[in-house]
Amino acid sequence: MATEKPADYRLPTNVKATHYDLTIKTDLEVLKFWGYVIAHIDILEDTSSITLNASDLSFALGSIAAIDSSGNLHKAKADIVEDKKQERVTFQFEDPFKKGSSIQLRAAYEAELGNSMLGYYVSSWNKDGKKRYAYRDPDPLQNRAFPSWDEPLLKATYAINLISRSDTVNLSNMPSISEIPLISGQNASDEPVGVKGLREVFGTDGEGWKVTVFEKTPKVSSYLVAFANGHFAHIDGTYTSPLSGEKRPLRVYATPDIIHQGHFALEVKSKTLPLYEQVFDVEFPLPKLDTLVAADFDAGAMENWGLITGRTTAFLFDPKKSDLSAKKRVAQVQAHEVAHMWFGNITTMAWWDSLWLNEGFATLMGEVIILNKVFPEFRCHSSFINDHLQRALKLDAQRSSHPIQVDCPDANQINQFDALSYSKAASMLRMLSQYVSEEKFLKGVSIYLKNHLYANSEPVDLWNGVSEATGIDVSKMMDNWVWKIGYPVLTVTVREGDIHVRQDRFIATGDVKEEENQTIWHVSASASYIPLTLLSTDPSGKTSIDRKVVLNERETTIVLDTTKPWKLNAGTVGVYRVSYEPEVLKQLGTWAAEKGSPFSLEDRMGLVNDAITLAKAGTSSTSGALDLITGLKSETENLVWQSIASTIVSIKDLLWEQPPALQERFRAFEAFLFLPIVERLGYESSPSDTVDDRELRTLAVGRAARARHPAVLAELRSRFAHFLETGDDSKITSDLQRIIYSTAVRFGGRIEYEAVKAIWRKPPTPSAKNSALIAIMQSEDAEIFEENVKLIFNEVPLQDWHTTFAALNMNTVVRRKATGVFKNNYDEIIKRFEGNFSLGYIVKYNFESYTTEADRKETKAFFEDKDNSKYNMALNQALDSINANATWLDRSLGEIERWLREVPAKI
């Protein structure tokens, strides 16, 4: 295959847009919009054609023209050349424009307000559908709202006018300058030129309409330009800049029925903004920062400059009714998006292949460093290990993985960014931050931002900033982590008086090939090495961490007393795994389980996570991983139990089609682990509960219920029965809401199903709606399954389809049926989701849990004759996952059976 050149997928460089005057008229009653754009263009080469991004816009042919600096009018030819695959249009002119000249390209167009979550689209918020609102989802190549040069490098300023019905609210990136009634006919001489242009082409009735004029933006990439129209309510807040003392307004917008749940997001925004200013030493440059809550949204949220947008679960929280996980999600998402106001919006990656510069950094800053300052009780640094590091390591262990600097030659690839752009990038940056110190790392980030204000950057620019702050050649140091696939596993062999350590690339199936194992991983400029971060204990029993011990070649030997507590990768900071021999792992587990263990919380999490992953790859034994978590049965830390629960889920999912007796024995083991926690913490929260208490209670009750322990099931079902009998939901505590709903549906009948479905249709909070949707998909009844399929295609919003298929995948009784639904309705699903981020998730959720080679072959065969260019990354990950599952099952099924027969003696 020929290698694609930039010219094959990048816009021509013969012109450059410097400013846009953009006018949009939105009619929520007829579900249409009309636009008039005036693009101010510098001509860089002699040309008679102008190519830019646009999709699904109907241009008024007579409106397309250019006015040069002398006032001469140049009409475009009648034919518009469209490239639907690349989402482009080309306008041809009779006479060429001369290099060095400037023109104003003018074009009028119209389009439908669809509900596809693409471009400028519509959503309804009440049950009769009469109240609607529209917003632009300004992700990459969503040129269904206005024509533009939609590449991040091509920044320009924008002056936006929004025409709408008088009883609606208009929003955009900047504050409004004025809002006046739309004046009809000859009385409209003072209105903006774009409004006049729109009127001349399409006609505009002034009665009942208004024009909102917004301030001009700074230079901004087109994917960050946002606008919305609807029946919005808002709540107000402010923050005061610690750098200038200026007070800026903050708002959260939503529909009137849910706006009261936006106060927590507003609080997070007001607390994090001044912290970002202090850390970056760069003031937030816009006059305001709004957040708009959207009922239908493809991704979780979007960092549009000055107007953050996102789905209800990302920004709404009711302190009386929402669960703790909803609170943490709102805090994480809002802080993440605020981080982008600097890292992404002020300074933007030059092309989509460096998206990780935006997302990895916003993940680290928004979900760890800054959030920890506001909510230390969330223990963000420790939670990162389960939330992001393990997620990244799991995905990056597959052969279908890719470097975080991902090749993105084609528009079809842009919506396929995955956990590596977020979680591995953040993990790599966290490792760098720990190595050079967080203080110096953030100083380097500040230097980087100041050097690229309102401009674009490459990864080397960030490394140069950190290098300046640290005196270390960071670019050389981080090269492999950015450009190479995968990460190493360190195999440790204990000998008398020392340990031998070897690094190799880690592959999930354990069968790394020689050609895949050429990279020597390093995080230092002075020498190629991995910091081993060795925890050891001296003869007096004092434990210390040596950060200078390194692996500077393929393998090395370290003098060490292994009779006392020791461990590599102390704090689980390194982006690698450590494989110990079975007896060594058992000893480490014993030390980890001791009261007052020398191993930190993060160390114990790392031990558990590595053990099960390495067992799956055949590098260590599955029985050893089971022994390790059995030895930790007295553990009290929630985050360690989350790691243990992840291990349990992995093995349980491996056995989902094995004989019922084997599955029952494993469920008994699961109940043995989690029931004591349920008995200790109970089912009710108390004012004295810590965040960890609440999360551990939720986890333990949920796992004990999934283990089908009779007493736990009876308790949960009785709580839902009380609600059915009385209408009083006080026994359905917010933290246990999801598991109570799911248990009621799974072990109940038609009555429970209909009751939970009614909650889904009219939920008290977005988290309750999500919980109810997941729960109704847990029914094992064949008739209800068919009803659920109709529900998906007729009532479930598109934004929730990936959640729905994930929920069906959790229900092993209907898992194969759900995959059949996907296959049988493939064409319709692709049509509905083409271009959406959600499509890849839907593909993965339908196939990744299968456990046989026959399933892998069947899945591959199903997709062979299909155009999978917009989800091929997710498909390959699913195929790799099936392969890893099948390999693990073949290798370890007998071992698991033997261990379960012997486990009564061990516990």
Q: 219 is written with which tokens?
A: 């230079």
The bridge status of strand 347-349 relative to strand 455-457 is parallel
C-alpha to C-alpha distance for 226 and 145, rounded to whole angstroms: 10
**AA letter at 242:** P
pLDDT band with cut points at 50, 70 and 90 for residue 697: very high
Q: Is the pLDDT of residue 520 over 80?
A: no
C-alpha to C-alpha distance for 344 and 356, rounded to whole angstroms: 10
Section 317-321 average pLDDT: 95
More confident residue, 298 or 282: 282
pLDDT band with cut points at 50, 70 and 90 for residue 526: very low
Query: Are residues 277 and 283 in contact, defined by beta-carbon separation less than 8 angstroms?
Result: yes
Least confident range from 321-335, 422-436, 517-531, 716-730: namely 517-531
Residue 781 buriedness (CB in 10 A; 0-12 / 13-18 / 19+): middle
CATH of 6-231 given 2.160.10.10, 2.10.77.10, 2.60.40.1730, 3.60.10.10: 2.60.40.1730
858 is catalytic: no
Residue 506 buriedness (CB in 10 A; 0-12 / 13-18 / 19+): buried
**AA letter at 705:** A
Q: Is the pLDDT of residue 154 over 70?
A: yes
Q: Is the pLDDT of residue 904 over 80?
A: no
The 10 Å Cβ neighbour count of residue 108 is 24
Q: 138 is written with which tokens?
A: 């300004």
| pLDDT computed for residue 782 by the predictor | 97
From residue 502, alpha-carbon distances to 485, 499, 571 in Å are 19, 10, 20
C-alpha to C-alpha distance for 57 and 34, rounded to whole angstroms: 9
Query: Are residues 423 and 392 in contact, defined by beta-carbon separation less than 8 angstroms?
Result: yes
Q: What are phi and psi of 530, to 5 degrees?
A: -105, 130
C-alpha to C-alpha distance for 172 and 158, rounded to whole angstroms: 11
- Under DSSP, is residue 275 helix (H, G, I), strand (E, B) or coil? helix
Instruction: Determine the number of helices (DSSP H) and then strands (DSSP E) in the chain.
Output: 31, 30
Helix pair 838-847, 801-810: axis angle to 10 deg: 10
Q: Is the pLDDT of residue 416 over 70?
A: no
In terms of Cα–Cα distance, which of 625, 642, 641 is closest to 589? 625
The 10 Å Cβ neighbour count of residue 553 is 12
| pLDDT computed for residue 10 by the predictor | 87
| Span 232-278, pLDDT tens digits | 999 999 999 999 999 999 999 999 999 999 999 999 999 999 999 99
Strand partners, 51: 90
The active-site residue, picked from 303, 337, 367, 752, is 337
C-alpha to C-alpha distance for 419 and 594, rounded to whole angstroms: 35
pLDDT band with cut points at 50, 70 and 90 for residue 614: very high
In terms of Cα–Cα distance, which of 422, 432, 532, 425 is closest to 476? 432
The C-alpha angle 658, 664, 665, rounded to 5 degrees, equals 100
Section 456-480 average pLDDT: 90
Do 6-231 and 781-899 come out as alike in CATH topology? Answer: no
C-alpha to C-alpha distance for 291 and 621, rounded to whole angstroms: 49
Q: How many residues appear in the chain?
A: 907
- Under DSSP, is residue 883 helix (H, G, I), strand (E, B) or coil? helix
Section 885-896 average pLDDT: 97
Section 388-406 average pLDDT: 92
Query: Are residues 568 and 533 in contact, defined by beta-carbon separation less than 8 angstroms?
Result: yes
Q: What are phi and psi of 88, to 5 degrees?
A: -135, 160
pLDDT band with cut points at 50, 70 and 90 for residue 2: very low
| Span 426-464, pLDDT tens digits | 999 999 998 889 999 999 999 999 999 999 999 999 999
Q: What is the CA 816 to chain-centroid distance, rounded? A: 27
Q: What are phi and psi of 559, to 5 degrees?
A: -70, 130
**AA letter at 51:** T
Question: What percent of the chain is modeled with pLDDT above 90?
Answer: 78
**AA letter at 708:** R
| pLDDT computed for residue 189 by the predictor | 61
- Mean pLDDT score of the chain: 92
| pLDDT computed for residue 7 by the predictor | 58
The C-alpha angle 50, 52, 55, rounded to 5 degrees, equals 130
Section 697-703 average pLDDT: 98
Q: What are phi and psi of 318, to 5 degrees?
A: -110, 115
In terms of Cα–Cα distance, which of 149, 172, 150, 145 is closest to 160? 172
The 3-state secondary structure of 847-863 reads HCCCCCHHHHHHHHHHH
Residue 248 backbone class (left: φ over 0; alpha: ψ -120 to 50; beta: rest): beta
| pLDDT computed for residue 544 by the predictor | 95
| pLDDT computed for residue 787 by the predictor | 98
Q: Which H or E run contains 162?
A: strand 157-165
Query: Are residues 228 and 122 in contact, defined by beta-carbon separation less than 8 angstroms?
Result: no
Extents of the domains making up the chain: 6-231, 781-899
C-alpha to C-alpha distance for 121 and 133, rounded to whole angstroms: 8
In terms of Cα–Cα distance, which of 530, 607, 546 is closest to 572? 607
Residue with tokens 């609170």: 327
Q: Which H or E run contains 152?
A: none
| Helices assigned H by DSSP within 632-765 | 638-654, 660-681, 691-706, 710-726, 737-747, 750-761
Least confident range from 262-266, 668-672, 679-683, 830-834: namely 830-834
| pLDDT computed for residue 525 by the predictor | 43
Helix pair 838-847, 826-833: axis angle to 10 deg: 150
Residue 761 buriedness (CB in 10 A; 0-12 / 13-18 / 19+): exposed
| Helices assigned H by DSSP within 762-871 | 766-776, 782-794, 801-810, 815-824, 826-833, 838-847, 853-863
Q: Does domain 781-899 have CATH number 3.20.20.70?
A: no
C-alpha to C-alpha distance for 730 and 35, rounded to whole angstroms: 51
Q: 640 is written with which tokens?
A: 């360690």
Residue 3 DSSP one-character state: P
C-alpha to C-alpha distance for 707 and 665, rounded to whole angstroms: 10
Q: 686 is written with which tokens?
A: 């108390």
| Span 324-378, pLDDT tens digits | 999 999 999 999 999 999 999 999 999 888 889 899 999 999 999 999 999 999 9
| pLDDT computed for residue 882 by the predictor | 98
